[in-house]
Chains A and B, each alone.
Chain A
């Protein structure tokens, strides 16, 4: 279930706090408890973005590879328009079309809501977000939980005030039997939203190490501000 965690981090900054136990959170607790079982994740996804400025949403496909503890490749577009690549403490935001790579300092990998630049994009690289349910509970407030057959729908919001200023909710759907994340959505206060629908999810299958390498020869490499 680390997949859940880093996807939450992708769009929802971390910080602290308490939680309400007004919902039946049993499926969520079980789901989070299974995180440690995940060693690798591979998945395809379609990212759909809706903005107030647009008449209709726009969509783009993507792929991700994750290997515990801190290896990640997240590609947006096919062919990739943007690649977030992390290997241990080294991370890059790569834009192949521009032949440009931005090196992310270690303090940007924490995914704090107040990180200065592209916080949400960088945040996904903090792994894991929640060590356990208590940690999850400290960082997120649960807004709604509902389960229908094998599909659990969870709405949460980071307890961090600056994140709350931007977000109305983070929405996740996961399969209660397999633990697969089905969708992840971030809803913003201005009415826009961003949803990832996952498919072809493969857990704990071997991933070649070269997936987490990238040849930056010929790229302009800049330090992230």
Chain B
């Protein structure tokens, strides 16, 4: 009695500890929606794009896009939306529908003062000379002449408010050209004005994805009056929109695929055994495995990627195999629990070991997303094996002792029948021939090594982003130039090196045009030399204003000059380098300059490569330290160069490892040969089926080859082991394991199959490919492998002790 109480005490304590473990782990789980987290960080494109997104994508900024039938409507509604959002200080820090300087052009004076301050000292000396008492009247007369004669509206507009030609020293840096102005304009509106953009900054940083989703819902509620307005079309993009939609779909994918898999498993089990209690126990075991694995992931991995969410369905689909096996053995077993466990451990250890090894082998891939999936499923499979052996086996035995004997189910009878074996073999042969024919006719499946599989299937945020790019820019194929430096000086040196290479590339015809952040970058030496010349000019303001009046100008024409002179004077007390800091300047600099938490500097520019010369351009800058020329298309090209090669290495290594293990286990060349032939046939049929269905190979479903090597091959291995156990008696082996393999394959295929509908295209393609491969593997192993066995052993007598 005391020992029984003590045992229950241990069970309760263990259960409590398990519960604490699960709760602690699950509470730490969060989703990482950054698709770059799925990719190898050592790749230059991934590193550069990560810097770009992290430091320039404005994680708290939602972009609301608006399309209307007329420019007037679009402008008015964009302003109204910005005003409505601005009235929600709890949600929104600011909502910007037009350039900050449009409302207050005077704010640009600070930027102008800064740009002039960075010019070479000789330019500044010439500028000071233009303002000197003797020269000022001539300078003003030249401006009057220009206003009279110029045919450039831009020149006229600028000089009217810059009569002393302070901007003259900027002529060489290209910042004031029309193209530049056009680009500033295009940040807010399309050329025809019917497409507008509102930039909405959240009131505070988001703590997690749930906060982001809630915030997005609130914003959409505020903008609901515009949503259904005829002739208006709203879109949401930017980091919060991506985070909300992708994290939301990840949550849904994980929950729905897990629940669907559990449902399919329950259905399969019920059809086969028609037993409620073991089914309930099995489902509880699967939930326990899932909770334990996810808790472990929460404790050690913290963030799940969009690929990692596929783990739930896959690990349930795989772990249930051990449950089936334990239950099937328990049906035939009359001994103790320990004996049942002993009977099962060899099979389960073997299959769980190879399956986990295959999934853990995904860590050899440099794709972190797949590595995470491999780690999660590998852990899940091992946890599943332990749970089924330690917890489920005793449950089935206890239930077996209580339950009355039952007649075999229809499915059990069907699978055990000779007719089923024969018909199955003919049907499988027919399917195999059709698929091989398809392979011969249509060839191998196409490859899709673009960035498409990295994207979600449905994403309003992507759609809105693509629409925005289409409407606001009239060109494609732009590369982002990201320059990173440890200090202002190092960054400017790297910017100059990059500009030098780009200028050479442009001269060679590799570049159409480029723009770096160099004109916006502070030149400390120039600032140090120029400030003593420029700062004292503020004292000349009264004289200069009078000269202006005398020359026929209004006082209004002096406002910009006065602000600039005052700004230089104010900066004379600042430590160098001087950076502009008002609202207009911050807006302009936010997508050009960034500083990291660890004190590094980042500069952003744009490069338009010449068509077909992208590789030459990449080569031109690839050896420059801290310089990245990145784009999504360039990322795709880099992945295409690296990933298939890596996969090939991992596949070859895993194949050799499996063959070596089998050689040791079987100690029979014929058995290993049969295994190789079966596996080769499975992959050939899978390739044929993919061609037939128009499926392609991508970065993610390439991993299916690895997973099928580790998981699907279990079926042929199990059957080969059963054939040996039964002394080559094919019907006996099929009776013993046919049903289990059918169940395992159906469950695993259900697990993978349910993620075929995942929102992430890469994950979905992986699920679909694996599900099809597993079904093919099971059918070929159950029905055709025994035929091969018979053919190979027709002329030789089997010696059970020596193996095949």
Residues of A within 8 A of B (CB): 49, 51-56, 58-60, 76-77, 81-82, 84, 93, 114, 116-121, 161-162, 192, 225
Could you tell me the distance in whole angstroms from the C-beta of A55 to the nearest C-beta in chain B?
A: 5
User: Does B13 reach chain A (CB closer than 8 Å)?
Assistant: no
User: B152, A118: Cβ atoms under 8 Å?
Assistant: yes
Q: Which of B147, B150, B193 contacts A82 (CB 8 A)?
A: B150
- Which residues does chain B contribute within 8 Å of A53, judged by CB atoms? 147, 160-161, 163, 553-554, 556-557
**Which one of B75, B147, B552 lies within 8 Å of A49 (CB-CB)?**
B147
Contact with A along B318-332 (1 / 0, CB 8 A): 000000000000000
Of chain B, the residue at the smallest CB distance from A122 is B151
Q: Mark B163-197, 1 if CB is under 8 A from A, else 0.
A: 10000000000000111001000000001110000
Q: 6 smallest A-B Cβ distances: which pairs?
A: A161-B71, A53-B557, A81-B149, A53-B160, A121-B151, A117-B178
B148 within 8 A of A: yes
Q: Complex: how many Å from CA A114 to CA B190?
A: 10
* Assembly CA distance A211 to B251 (angstroms): 75
CB of A52 within 8 A of CB of B556, answer: yes
In the complex, the answer to whether B153 meets A119 with C-beta atoms within 8 Å is yes
Complexed CA–CA distance, A59 and B148 (Å): 6
One of B70, B149, B178 near A60 (C-beta < 8 A)? B149
Q: Identify the closest chain B residue to A93 (Cβ).
A: B151
Q: Judge whether A162 and B151 touch: CB under 8 Å.
A: no
Does B72 contact A82, Cβ atoms closer than 8 Å? Answer: no
Check: B154 CB closer than 8 A to any chain A CB: yes
B104 CB to closest chain A CB (Å) equals: 15
B152, A121: Cβ atoms closer than 8 Å: yes
Chain B residue at smallest Cβ distance from A60: B148
Contact of A225 among B147, B177, B191, B552 (CB under 8 A): B177
Asked whether, in the complex, the Cβ of A52 is within 8 Å of the Cβ of B178, the reply is no
Please judge, given known A-B contacts A161-B192, A162-B193, whether A52 and B149 are in contact too, CB under 8 Å: no
Contacts of A120 in B (CB 8 A): 153
Bound together, the chains give a CA A59 to CA B151 distance in angstroms of 13
- Most chain B beta-carbon neighbours within 10 Å: one of A49, A53, A60, A192: A53
- Fill in one digit per residue for B194-218: 1 if any A CB lies within 8 Å of its CB, else 0: 0000000000000000000000000
Closest chain B residue to A57, Cβ basis: B148
Residue B144 lies at the interface, judged by CB distance under 8 Å to chain A: yes
Chain B's closest residue to A58 (CB) is B148
A–B complex contacts, Cβ < 8 Å, 12 sampled: A51-B147, A54-B557, A55-B554, A58-B144, A77-B149, A82-B149, A114-B191, A114-B192, A117-B152, A117-B177, A117-B179, A118-B153
Q: CA of A225 to CA of B181 in the docked complex: distance in angstroms?
A: 13
Q: Are A52 and B160 in contact (CB under 8 A)?
A: yes
A54-B71 contact, Cβ under 8 Å, with A81-B149, A116-B179: no
B residues 526-550 touching A (CB-CB < 8 Å): none
> How distant is the Cα of A55 from the Cα of B193 in the complex, in angstroms?
35
- Complex CA gap A206/B182 in Å reads 42
Rounded to whole angstroms, the CA-CA distance of A120 and B693 in the bound complex is: 57
Please pick, from A55, A82, A162, the residue contacting B553 in the complex, using a CB distance under 8 A: A55
Contact between A162 and B177, CB atoms less than 8 A apart: no
Task: List, in ascending order, chain B residues with CB within 8 A of A114's CB.
Answer: 191-192
Q: Which residue of A lies closest to B559 (CB)?
A: A53
Distance A117 CA – B180 CA, assembled complex (angstroms): 11
Contacts of B163 in A (CB 8 A): 53
How many angstroms from the CA of A121 to the CA of B182 in the assembled complex? Answer: 17
Contact B154 A82 (CB under 8 A): no
With both beta carbons as reference points, the residue of chain A lying nearest to B75 in the complex is identified as A161
Query: Which residues of chain B come closer than 8 Å to A121, judged between CB atoms?
Result: 151-153
Complex Cα–Cα for A49 and B145 (A):
11
How far apart are B641's CB and chain A's nearest CB, in angstroms? 36
With a CB–CB cut-off of 8 A, which chain B residues contact A93? 151
- Please indicate the chain A residues that have their CB under 8 angstroms from the CB of B144 in the complex: 54, 58
Quote the shortest CB–CB distance from A182 to chain B (angstroms). Answer: 22
Chain B residues with a Cβ under 8 A of chain A = 70-72, 75, 144, 147-154, 156, 160-161, 163, 177-179, 182, 191-193, 552-554, 556-557
B192 neighbours in A (Cβ, 8 Å): 114, 161-162
Chain A residues near B179: list those with CB within 8 A: 116-117, 225
- 7 additional contacts (CB under 8 A) given A53-B557, A161-B192: A52-B160, A54-B553, A55-B554, A58-B144, A60-B149, A77-B149, A225-B179
Task: State which of B72, B178, B552 has its C-beta within 8 Å of the C-beta of A116.
Answer: B178
Contacts of B153 in A (CB 8 A): 118-121
Q: Look across to chain B and name the residue whose beta carbon is closest to the beta carbon of A17.
A: B70
User: In the complex where A56-B552, A225-B177 touch, is A118 in contact with B154 (Cβ < 8 A)?
Assistant: yes
A60 to B156, CA, bound (A): 15
B146, closest chain A residue (CB): A81
Closest to A62 in B: B149
Determine the residue in chain B with the shortest Cβ distance to A120: B153
Is there contact, CB below 8 Å, between A116 and B553?
no
Q: Give CA–CA (A84, B148) in the complex, Å.
A: 16
Q: Identify which of B144, B149, B177 gathers the most chain A CB atoms within 10 Å of its CB.
A: B149
Contacts A116-B179, A225-B177 given; indicate if A54 touches B554 (C-beta within 8 A).
Answer: yes
Given A51-B160, A117-B178, A161-B71: A58 and B152 interface contact (C-beta under 8 Å): no
Chain B, Cβ-Cβ closest to A77: B149
A70-B192 Cα distance, complex, nearest whole Å: 28
A225 near B151: Cβ-Cβ < 8 Å: no
A120→B152 CA distance, assembly (Å): 8
For the complex, give the distance between the alpha carbons of A116 and B474 in Å.
Answer: 13
- B267 CB, min distance to chain A CBs, angstroms: 61
CB neighbours of B552 from chain A (8 A): 54-56
Chain B residues, Cβ within 8 Å of A225: 177-179
* A161 and B150 contacting across the interface, CB-CB below 8 Å: no
Nearest Cβ in chain B — how far from A123, in angstroms? Answer: 11
Closest to B161 in A: A53
B177 cross-chain contacts in A, Cβ below 8 A: 117, 225
The CB with the most chain A CB atoms within 10 A, among B71, B153, B161, B553, is that of B153
Distance between Cα atoms of A77 and B146 in the complex (Å) = 12
| Cβ-closest chain B residue relative to A166 | B153
Complex Cα spacing A96 to B151, Å? 13
> In the assembly, what is the distance between CA of A49 and CA of B70, in Å?
32
Shortest Cβ distance from residue B190 to the other chain A in the assembled complex, whole angstroms: 10
Q: Given the known A-B contacts A116-B179, A118-B154, are A52 and B554 also in contact in the complex, defined by CB atoms under 8 Å?
A: yes
B-chain residues with CB within 8 Å of residue A192 when the two chains form the complex: 160
Q: Which residue of A lies closest to B174 (CB)?
A: A225
State in angstroms the CA–CA spacing of A94 and B177 once bound together.
19
Please name all residues of chain A whose beta carbon is closer than 8 Å to the beta carbon of B152 when the two chains form the complex: 117-118, 121
| Cβ-defined contact, B149 with A76, below 8 A | yes
* Distance (whole angstroms) from the CB of B776 to the closest CB of chain A: 57
Q: In the complex, what distance in Å separates the CA atom of A93 from the CA atom of B154?
A: 15
Residues of chain B with a CB closer than 8 A to A76's CB: 149, 151
Least CB distance from A7 to B in Å reads 14
A117→B193 CA distance, assembly (Å): 18
**Set of chain B residues within 8 Å of A116, measured between Cβ atoms:** 178-179, 182
Q: How far is the CA of A214 from the CA of B554 in the complex (A)?
A: 39
Bound together, the chains give a CA A55 to CA B549 distance in angstroms of 8
A84 touches B151 (CB 8 A): yes
Cβ of B154: which chain A residues have Cβ within 8 Å of it? 117-118
B161 lies within 8 A of A162 (CB): no
Q: Which residues of A contact B149 (CB under 8 A)?
A: 60, 76-77, 81-82
In the complex, what distance in Å separates the CA atom of A69 from the CA atom of B160? Answer: 36
Is A82 a contact of B151 with CB atoms below 8 Å? yes
> Is there contact, CB below 8 Å, between A161 and B553?
no
Pair B148/A49 contact, Cβ less than 8 Å:
yes
Bound complex: CA A120 to CA B150 (Å): 12
In whole angstroms, what is the CA distance A9 to B178 when docked? 20
Contacts of B554 in A (CB 8 A): 52-55
The distance from the CB of B588 to the nearest CB of chain A, in whole angstroms, is: 19
A27 to B177, CA, bound (A): 42
* CA–CA, A65 and B783, complex, Å: 92
- For residue B40, give the distance in angstroms from its CB to the closest CB of chain A: 40
Residue among B72, B144, B152, B161 facing the most chain A CB atoms (10 A cut-off): B152
In the complex, what residues of A have CB within 8 A of residue B557's CB?
53-54
Contact, CB under 8 Å: A161 / B147: no
Closest residue of B by beta carbon distance from A192: B160
